[in-house]
Amino acid sequence: MPRISSHHTILIATIFVLVPALSADTLTYSDNFEGSSINPFWTVSQQQLGTVGLSTNQNHTPAGSQSLEFDPSSTPGQHDMQVIHNFSSQTQGDFSVWFYYSGEAYSDQTYYNFLNLGNTSGLPSAFVGTQDFDPTCYEAALDTSSGRTGPNANCGPFPGAATTDVGRTVGWHEFEIDDTATSLTISIDGTQVLDVAGDYSFNYVTLETFGPENSTTPTFFDDFNAVTTSAVPEPSLAVVLAIILGVTLVGGKALRPRIKLR
């Protein structure tokens, strides 16, 4: 009966230990919104009853002077302002941005203001930011086909699944979503508010302001940063064996074996 020699058996075992289970490309994106125009990394995808642009009205960047401003109009109705970046493939990574909260009273505000990761095909999606009905606490959640997972904190007048126990205070605050192959975590000002086990990926990131409010108070984002990885599926067992043994695969079948059988 044909068999592989002990030499080849040892070689195969050794190489299988060295073959990585996953290969990935890591890319870093950052934007302090200090340019003369919006970075082409972003596409302004919504300007309904409002405008999106660079502004000197607020700034978080050290030695900087600008931020990204979402400026709602005084016209009543649904306001919707958004910038988006679409990734070329399913992506994971660590995403963060600074958000300025000006502390308006609930009767004058508030809009939904989010750092959001999503998929053009639907779920999953993840977000962190403010809700229009809760002037007291920040919100964060992961939405999947199984439903919404959030901190579910008892905070503010209308607590829900997405409610965090982090109170809203005037000034700049950091939103962060850290998505890896094993978990997704959301943090506000460095404090983790949500940790969900699982492997989730996304193909776009947005900064957005929307809601039916009549407030003309603008929203500001600054110092966006993302360190992303696009996972490459591991090669099949047949391909790995072909590389190791010098076998050419055609239609999944091995041709021209280069090992001696005895």
- Cα torsion 101, 103, 107, 112 to 10°: value is 10
CA 168 to chain centre: 22
The Cα 161–Cα 141 span in angstroms is 8
Domains assigned to the chain? 1-15+237-262 (no CATH), 25-231 (2.60.120.200)
Confidence check: pLDDT of 242 > 60: no
Task: Report the range of poorest mean pLDDT among 78-82, 151-155, 253-257.
Answer: 253-257
pLDDT given for residue 254 in this prediction: 44
Average pLDDT over residues 206-218: 88
pLDDT in tens, 91-136: 999 999 999 998 775 544 578 999 999 999 999 999 999 988 888 8
Q: What is the pLDDT of residue 106?
A: 53
Indicate the helix (H) or strand (E) that contains 10.
helix 6-18
State both tokens at 176. Answer: 């962060």
Q: Is pLDDT above 80 for 262?
A: no
Give the CA radius of gyration of the chain: 24
Write down the pLDDT at residue 231: 56
pLDDT digits (tens, 9 = 90+) for 176-200: 999 999 999 999 999 999 999 999 9
Quick one: which of 19, 54, 85, 24 has its CA closest to 237? 19
Query: Does position 240 have pLDDT exceeding 50, yes or no?
Result: no
* Tens-place pLDDT, residues 149-167: 999 999 998 899 999 999 9
So what's the pLDDT on residue 217? 87
Taking CA atoms, 134 is separated from 117, 139, 236, in Å, by: 21, 9, 50
Tokens for 250, please give them.
């055609």
